[in-house]
Amino acid sequence: MTILVFGKTGQVARELAGHAGVTCLDRAAANLAESGACAAAIRVAQPDAVINAAAYTAVDRAEEDEVLATAINGTAPGEMARECAALGISFVSISTDYVFSGAGETAWKPEDTTGPLGAYGRSKRTGEQAISAAGGPSAILRSSWVVSAHGSNFVKTMLRLGAERDRLSIVADQIGGPTPARDIAAACLEMAGQLGDDPGKAGLYHFAGHPDASWADFAREIFAQAGISCAVEDIPSSAYPTPARRPLNSRLDCSSLAATFGISRPDWKTGLRDILNDLGETR
């Protein structure tokens, strides 16, 4: 099976790159902000499936750059989906918990009403709507709190700050599922294969690490596994203001993914151990 991946340097794309039959495209090969570039790349490659692992992920910067964020996260995935539908090939695109308002404490189901708090979430919701409208064997995979040994993410930030300081104040009222990029990549590959065999599995799904935790809880586990003596003080989001509002409730109900594709929520503590091993940061 040949798979064309949009994205090359991002966390999930880096994990996809090592698999047989996978070709990853960087911005030079397919500029997602350029109309027609994605469809042209798909027509040239003629793959068996396409995975969109590229995105505008600068959540705060998107507040002032929503046009570009929407072009990359909204317009481009829709173009990919339409081309895949025309060719009759499976398409999997990664979305985010930021499409929800973060209200309440109940895990969000795929069919729940969206209500993004900022530009990034709105741009991703636009992409979801465009993919759904395209039809074809397409699946949207919403995930949350992505981490890996690659790029910039919470794990690497905590390792750096924890080594420099004796105490850190970390937000404790945002709750979600830390999700290793390696597990997201594996889920996308499995979904692409199954969609090729059964287009009826197209739809919207959730995937996040288990168990749900706060950022403060996550930080404590990082320090414990890495053997870093840094105390964590729980603080509310109001004590750490950012240009873009973050959802307080990022819990995702992943039951439909398990029922349809047989993909269960990964244990993020085990995934964290693998990441720290890759970084040479375990005790």
Q: Per the residue annotation, which of 56, 98, 120, 205 is the catalytic one?
A: 120
pLDDT beyond 70 at 283: no
pLDDT beyond 80 at 32: yes
Please give the Cα distance from 193 to 32 (Å, whole number): 24
120 is catalytic: yes
Q: Which domains does the chain have, with CATH numbers?
A: 3-152+180-210+251-266 (3.40.50.720)
Q: Record the pTM.
A: 0.96
Query: How long, in residues, is the chain?
Result: 283
pLDDT in tens, 125-182: 999 999 999 999 999 999 999 999 998 999 999 999 999 999 999 999 999 999 999 9
Point out which residues pair with 5 in neighbouring strands.
24, 51
pLDDT in tens, 98-124: 999 999 999 999 999 999 999 999 999
